Amino acid sequence: MVTDSNLISEVSGTGFIPHLALDFVIIGFHEQELKILILEYENTSLFALPGGFIRMDEDLEEAARRVLGERTGLTDLFLQQFHTFGSLERSDPESMKAILEGKGFAAGEHHWLLQRFVTVGYYALVDFTKVSPQPDLIADRCGWHDYGRLPQLMQDHTRILQFAMQHLRTNLDQELLGFSLLGEAFTMQTLQNLYETILGEKLNRSSFQRRMLQLGLLERLEKSYTGKAHKAPYLYRFKKLGIAPASF
Amino acid sequence: MVTDSNLISEVSGTGFIPHLALDFVIIGFHEQELKILILEYENTSLFALPGGFIRMDEDLEEAARRVLGERTGLTDLFLQQFHTFGSLERSDPESMKAILEGKGFAAGEHHWLLQRFVTVGYYALVDFTKVSPQPDLIADRCGWHDYGRLPQLMQDHTRILQFAMQHLRTNLDQELLGFSLLGEAFTMQTLQNLYETILGEKLNRSSFQRRMLQLGLLERLEKSYTGKAHKAPYLYRFKKLGIAPASF
DNA sequence: TATTATTGTCGCACTATGCAACAATAATAA
DNA sequence: TTATTATTGTTGCATAGTGCGACAATAATA
């Protein structure tokens, strides 16, 4: 949905709150690996977290959902604000200027993107298979990278990413319900793998299973016959908790 | 430290990041009550959380410490960023205009303070007895209010305050070391009262004492003879943990 | 010296969790 | 058909944390 007016305003800054940005750590899970959505600027070989700006007439949260939608093609995602970053060392006008000029935009000394920015950090948990990554107007590519093998990111984006992961780790149980990281149905082993990947440590199988089941958030479905020579695991999904569960 | 240039810039907005503010929930504890530092605007009878702005050449965190210092007279306080608020409904230009005009400032339609603001929320835990509250340039008073009997606050400041309290409740144990809420030395009962006040629930005395001592963060000092007809309690203080404690 | 109120501590029950063991079972091999 | 193999669901046991009640210690007063 890139219109001319979008293009003009994103590059000129018209209609956006100046000096204030959004940055996103968009997290997926695929083949036992955490994946992070990263932008690439071809001419400079720079990598960055997806980001965006807030329109003057737009709620912060609304802006976050809009930008997230623009990068992933998805709406209604689990989205969590975790920290706002405002160090002066954040800005890196040289790199930004190179990126802009590489894309053919005139980047005078006072181009609005070259100014100092404070940025509000969000992370999103998404279903890897449902996302269709879209670069923004000044990026050349937008794609998944393995969390364990990320390229060096521009500015303080690595720090932002680490903050996000730390926040996610400490809130993992509370945010279980927002887990869009897995498909509709999954086995206990897949869930445990996800936990272990996020936490960065091995968990005990029986304890993990017991704890997950005791939370009362999982619904057991049919068995999943994988064709392997052993007992077939059950599939689970997260219960849709409309209202508080009846106590009888 | 109010200089003319301060006054001019705070009222005109010169040198500050536009549309971006800081708001503070400054929390004290005195006579078994949580206290919140609140600003009052005389002519409008409006109440507000202390706030401030970020200079263009100043780190976000640095700005927060500067503003906090201006309101409390203290530096080196425990300061925690907890959320950034950016709803469009935040702004309330009518009230702000009335406040400015009441203080004799010309508040044209486009005065910078009347514009839309996103605000970064911080809370600080302070030693009630050490703070000397100072109003800012457009407030008439700055003083402590009981948490249980707060006046209605302008804009979304009540919501900001509730976010801060919720964050504090869920992170109480982790933030124990930053506790400047109590004086240098305190009894276990005082600490428990503080916990109960923040959490809003009664705790079991012996369990609480055991848990606090097991954390290994408290140092037992001499007894405190209160003059009452019963056993005298020990005083405690938080250990200064320079480096990780030796394991031998 | 007895009384009173509060404190520091301990024991017991209950819960949560790490760890190991065991039976169940889906596919394959004999 | 039967044995084998790998993985799963479940249970038992040891350990740690916590709610709750009880008890001795003790500072001031009667």
Nucleotide minimizing C1' to CA distance for residue B214:
D17
CB proximity under 8 Å: A 175-194 to B: none
Residue nearest to nucleotide C9 (CA to C1'): B206
As a CATH number, domain B4-170 is 3.90.79.10
Q: How far is B238 from chain A (nearest CA, A)?
A: 25
Q: What is the pLDDT of residues B100-142, one digit of tens each?
A: 888 888 777 778 889 999 999 999 999 999 999 999 888 899 9
Question: How far is residue B232's CA from residue B216's CA, in Å, rounded to a whole number?
Answer: 22
Q: Do the Cβ atoms of A113 and A161 come closer than 8 Å?
A: no
Interchain contact, A86 vs B18, CB within 8 Å = no
B87: chain A residues, CB-CB within 8 Å:
59-61
Structural domain boundaries in chain A: 4-170, 183-238
pLDDT band at B246 (very low <50, low <70, confident <90, very high): very low
Q: What is the pLDDT of residues B54-63, one digit of tens each?
A: 999 999 999 9
Nucleotide minimizing C1' to CA distance for residue A209:
D9
CATH domain B184-238 topology: Arc Repressor Mutant, subunit A (1.10.10)
User: Rounded to the nearest 5 degrees, what angle is found at the Cα of A14, between the Cα atoms of B5 and B94?
Assistant: 55
CA of B236 to C1' of D28 (A): 22
Would you tell me the crossing angle of helices A205-215 and A188-199 to the nearest 10 degrees? 100
Q: Return the SS3 of A81.
A: strand
CA of B234 to C1' of D30 (A): 26
Beta strands in chain B (DSSP E): 16-30, 33-41, 46-48, 51-55, 78-85, 118-125, 141-146, 186-187, 218-223, 234-238
Backbone angles phi, psi at B146, to 5 degrees: -65, 135
Determine if strand D comes within 7 Å of the CB of B130. Answer: no
Instruction: Specify the DSSP element, H or E, that contains A144.
Output: strand A141-146
CA of A207 to C1' of D15 (A): 14
A163: chain B residues, CB-CB within 8 Å:
none
Residue A164: its pLDDT value, please? Answer: 97
How does the average pLDDT of chain B come out, rounded? 89
Q: How far is B86 from chain A (nearest CA, A)?
A: 5
Residue A160: its pLDDT value, please? Answer: 98
A58: chain B residues, CB-CB within 8 Å:
88
> Which residues, at least 6 apart from A199, have a Cβ–Cβ distance to it below 8 Å?
A169, A172
B160 and A CB contact within 8 Å: no
Question: How far is residue B67's CA from residue B224's CA, in Å, rounded to a whole number?
Answer: 37
Each residue's pLDDT tens digit in chain A (248 positions)? Answer: 445 455 556 667 678 999 999 999 999 999 889 999 999 998 888 999 999 999 999 999 999 999 999 999 998 889 999 999 999 999 888 888 898 888 888 777 778 889 999 999 999 999 999 999 999 888 899 999 999 999 999 999 999 999 999 999 999 988 887 788 998 899 999 999 999 999 999 999 999 999 999 998 999 999 888 888 889 999 999 987 654 444 33
Whether B42 shows a pLDDT value over 80: the answer reads yes
Burial of A207 (C-beta count, 10 Å sphere; 0-12/13-18/19+): exposed
B63: chain A residues, CB-CB within 8 Å:
86
Whether B189 shows a pLDDT value over 50: the answer reads yes
Whether B2 shows a pLDDT value over 50: the answer reads no
CB proximity under 8 Å: B 17-76 to A: 17-20, 54, 56-61, 63
Which of the residues A23, A55, A60, A62 would you substitute to probe the B interface, choosing the one with the greatest number of B C-beta atoms within 10 Å? A60
| CA neighbor of A137 nearest in space, from A24, A39, A46 | A39
Interchain contact, B60 vs A19, CB within 8 Å = no
The percent of residues in chain B predicted with pLDDT above 90, rounded, is: 62
DSSP state of B153: B
B59: chain A residues, CB-CB within 8 Å:
86-88
Residue B11: its pLDDT value, please? Answer: 67
CA of B80 to C1' of C23 (A): 53
Whether B242 shows a pLDDT value over 60: the answer reads no
CA of B203 to C1' of C15 (A): 18
* Average pLDDT of the segment spanning B65-71: 95
Q: What is the pLDDT of residues B148-186, one digit of tens each?
A: 999 999 999 999 999 999 999 999 988 887 788 988 899
Structurally, at CATH architecture level, domain A183-238 sits in: Orthogonal Bundle (1.10)
In this structure, which amino acid lies at residue B115?
A: Q
